[in-house]
Amino acid sequence: MPAQPSSAKRKIDHPCIRSVAFRLRQRRGRKIRDLIEGIHWKKHKVEIVDVGGTRDYWKILPADYLIRRNVRITLVNISPPEDPRDGQDAVFSYVQGDGCRLKDIADNQFDIAHSNSVIEHVGDWGKMVDFAGEMRRIAGAYYVQTPNYFFPVEPHFLFPFFHWLPLSAKLGLIMRFQLGCFPKASSRDEARGYVELCRLLTRRQLHRLFPDAALYKERMFFLVKSFILIRSGVS
């Protein structure tokens, strides 16, 4: 049975890709800072909901900067934090919930809805539509990052062209080898579960999910590795 998106994200955030991911996140920090500055200038505080996020991710911005800008970040995940003290301080708080159905969060309750490499793990297209709808509903501005389907190296299995192969070939590879951040699968069902955890999106699909966003390209070796979708605004 496939793991939940939050557990999938923990598995994928692995040392084998962390150094590259962290460099990209540092670049993303500038765009997030721009959103924060615009909202802080008008409201003198900034409420962020990070759906599927972690405290470690927010090291892309200095802790003292978040405090100076009166930023509060609510982390939303399906599973509770491994450390029960996680997300309980001056900046961070924790809420358990499903990003595809945030029934306890009101419309425009937050200033910024944020997600980093989450939407590709929530499930099928219907789940992605639900997730995108919630991101657009719960905040005046949003920031969504996700890998590009057309980048030749699949970022979770770390295997060239893996995501373009037929399903039977993917299952065969996963059952024979340890790929990227996933162990070798012991059965076809387990292998299929790994495949279903990672559904990369194209630029066209992202435009359908987030029609009111500006789309930015993150490049690696002159190729588009991932996309960032941003809607600016104050709730």
Q: Would you list the DSSP string of 157-181?
A: TTEETGGGS-HHHHHHHHHHS-BTT
Q: What is residue 211's three-state secondary structure? A: coil
pLDDT digits (tens, 9 = 90+) for 11-68: 444 444 445 556 666 677 899 999 999 999 999 999 999 999 999 899 999 999 999 9
Lookup: tokens for 2? 């496939």
pLDDT digits (tens, 9 = 90+) for 29-40: 899 999 999 999
Please tell me what DSSP assigns to residue 155: T
Of 202, 199, 217, 128, nearest in space to 157 by CA: 199
DSSP E strand stretches across 21-162: 46-51, 71-77, 92-96, 110-116, 139-147, 153-154, 159-160
The residues, ordered by sequence, that sit 6+ positions from 59 with a Cβ below 8 Å of its Cβ are none
Tens-place pLDDT, residues 75-91: 999 987 766 555 568 89
Burial of 52 (0-12, 13-18, 19+ CB in 10 A): buried
Q: What pLDDT does residue 181 have?
A: 87
d(CA 172, CA 188): 8
The residue with greater pLDDT, 88 or 10, is 88
CATH of domain 5-152+200-231: 3.40.50.150
Radius of gyration of the chain from its Cα atoms, rounded to whole angstroms: 18
Whether 95 and 104 have beta carbons less than 8 Å apart is answered as yes
Average per-residue pLDDT for the chain: 88
Give the pLDDT confidence of 140-177 residue by residue, as tens digits: 999 999 999 999 999 999 999 999 999 999 999 999 99
Sign of CA dihedral 128, 131, 133, 139: negative
Instruction: Locate the domains of the chain by residue range.
Output: 5-152+200-231, 157-196
